[in-house]
């Protein structure tokens, strides 16, 4: 299993940043170019890169500003877990997107995808 994380700092408050990344069903700021999005209970099915990817929500904590989910279908992984946290950083905030994935060969792809997503979040707030 491989682990990694990407992060970005924003000039907006942690609550504002959490508003953009903490809604499992509302990920427009994170992935503005999604091909499709469906919600089925605790699962979201996203159309991305010509694939349908099913992700399951495991934890959503507004107080801790923490979201944990995993890919359960649609991508060739045996295991995936993503954890998004938002913390205060001075007068701004920091978003950290940690992940672990099996097989390890998928780690670079996941890291690049999440780094791109955080760049989209920065653009959402006019910071890119």
Domains in the chain: boundaries: 2-124
Give the model's pLDDT for residue 49.
Answer: 81
Q: What is the pTM of this model?
A: 0.94
pLDDT classification of 112: cutoffs 50, 70, 90: very high
The radius of gyration of the chain from alpha carbons, rounded to an integer in Å, stands at 14
What does the pLDDT average to over 100-109? 96
Burial level of 99, CB count in 10 A (0-12/13-18/19+)? buried
- List pLDDT tens digits, range 20-46: 999 999 887 788 888 999 999 999 999
- List pLDDT tens digits, range 68-82: 999 999 999 999 999
Considering the four listed CATH numbers 1.10.3720.10, 3.30.530.20, 3.30.70.360, 3.40.50.280, the one that applies to the domain covering 2-124 is 3.30.530.20
């Amino acid at each position: 299993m491989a682990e990694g994380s990407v992060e970005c700092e924003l000039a907006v408050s942690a609550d504002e940043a959490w508003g953009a990344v903490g809604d499992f069903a509302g990920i427009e700021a994170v992935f503005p170019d999604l091909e499709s999005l469906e919600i089925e209970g605790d699962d979201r099915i996203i159309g991305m890169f010509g694939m349908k990817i099913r992700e399951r929500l495991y934890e959503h904590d507004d107080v801790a500003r923490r979201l944990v989910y995993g890919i359960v279908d649609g991508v060739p992984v045996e295991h995936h877990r993503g954890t998004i946290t938002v913390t205060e950083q001075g007068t701004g905030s920091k978003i950290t997107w940690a992940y672990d994935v099996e097989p390890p060969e998928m780690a670079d792809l996941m890291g690049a995808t999440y780094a791109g997503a955080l760049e989209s979040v920065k653009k959402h707030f006019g910071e890119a």
